[in-house]
Structure 1
Amino acid sequence: KRGGETIQLGPTEFRLLKHFLEHPGWVFSRERLLDAVWGHDSDIEARTVDVHIRRLRKAINVGEKPDIIRTVRSAGYALDSGV
């Protein structure tokens, strides 16, 4: 839930959000997210992370809620630690 509203997530977006919530404020590269969410042996393209980040943002930033997933240029993604 966010702001009292239930959020519907797919399994990959759920694992991404769980990983971010376990490490608020930490910046993760695409490769580190691939290892953490998809597993070390995955043959998935690094840019796939961008697609799932976009889906996660769409699900959790409904309405006028601020975007809590921060893109860190040339580094990766982070969950704002004030969440």
Structure 2
Amino acid sequence: RRVTRAGGALALGPTEYRILLHLMRNPRRVFSRAEILAAAWDDRIHVEERTVDVHIRRLRMALNATGGADLIRTVRSSGYMLDDGKVD
């Protein structure tokens, strides 16, 4: 599994990869922390919802290391989404 942006390889941990994959499958859809938890973690493991914030921050850092625009949007009181850059 490899992730690249602007021609450069990104170093992602397995959890960040699963979150990115989930967001990429549903661009521009807002996911709550609970939905991201369900998509990225085994349901037999108890993980606090705020843990998602830590992994989103790591994912953002990796994606933005190339200097491109921030692709992950925080939707206040709702969750996170992948912004594909299209204008409505």
Under a length normalisation based on structure 1, what TM-score does the superposition of the two structures give? 0.93
Shift of 1:65: 1.1
- Give the corresponding residue for 1:38: 41
The structure 2 residue matched to 1:48, chosen from 48, 51, 60, is 51
The separation in 2 between residues aligned to 1:15 and 1:73, in whole angstroms, is: 22
Gaps of 5+ in 1: none
> What is the letter of the counterpart of residue 24 of structure 2?
L
Q: CA RMSD in A?
A: 1.3
Taking only the aligned residue pairs, the percentage that are identical comes to 53
Q: How many aligned positions are there?
A: 83
Under a length normalisation based on structure 2, what TM-score does the superposition of the two structures give? 0.88
The structure 2 residue matched to 1:29, chosen from 28, 32, 38, is 32
The structure 1 residue matched to 2:81, chosen from 57, 74, 78, is 78
Q: Is the 8 A contact 2:29 2:82 kept in 1?
A: yes
Shift of 1:43: 1.0
- Give the corresponding residue for 2:60: 57
Q: Secondary structure at the match of 2:18?
A: helix
